[in-house]
Structure 1
Amino acid sequence: MGSIASSMSIFRRCIKNFKEVPDVYNYYGELLLDQGNFQEAVEKFDTAIEMEKKTKPMAMNVLPLINKALCLFQQKQDFTEAEKLCQKALI
């Protein structure tokens, strides 16, 4: 297993090399969330969500929505917004 710093570095390189791949932003957001870096995690999830909407509007990957909901709940205990995001994921 590598270190967190190494993982962060790898994700930053992946973003440079794969700018148009939503999964890179989503999984980087998961790592940031795990480290308690909520604001930056939300930014990555938002980027992944927007990319998913543009590239796959009828079959988007809902994982960034769920991850953002989890992040908002953990950070702010914002149950209302977290629930809205989960509802979007179900539609």
Structure 2
Amino acid sequence: MSPTVHEIRNAIRAATGRFEREFEASFTKEELQAICEALKITVDGAGRPSTTRMRQQIRAQVGIAESLETADDSTFRKAELQAIADGIEASSDQ
């Protein structure tokens, strides 16, 4: 059986040194920044970048979007989460 969205998110959290969550929850700003670091994405700007910008950078880095300019900024869907997990070599096997 394929992993759930929650299981994939938690695998990504664990692979980036973040705590797994018991309940279903989207990534926080800090978790997105940890994903960017794991993917070796240089986060631009002073301070913390916006969640929108980080989602776009992640999508472009793992090949979900052709470029940063064409990348969607919405929350990640299951197939996108799987691509991110593959990109950081996170395993959602139970």
Q: Same fold (TM over 0.5)?
A: no
Which has the greater radius of gyration? 1
Return the TM-score normalized by structure 1: 0.30
Point out the structure with the larger helix share: 1
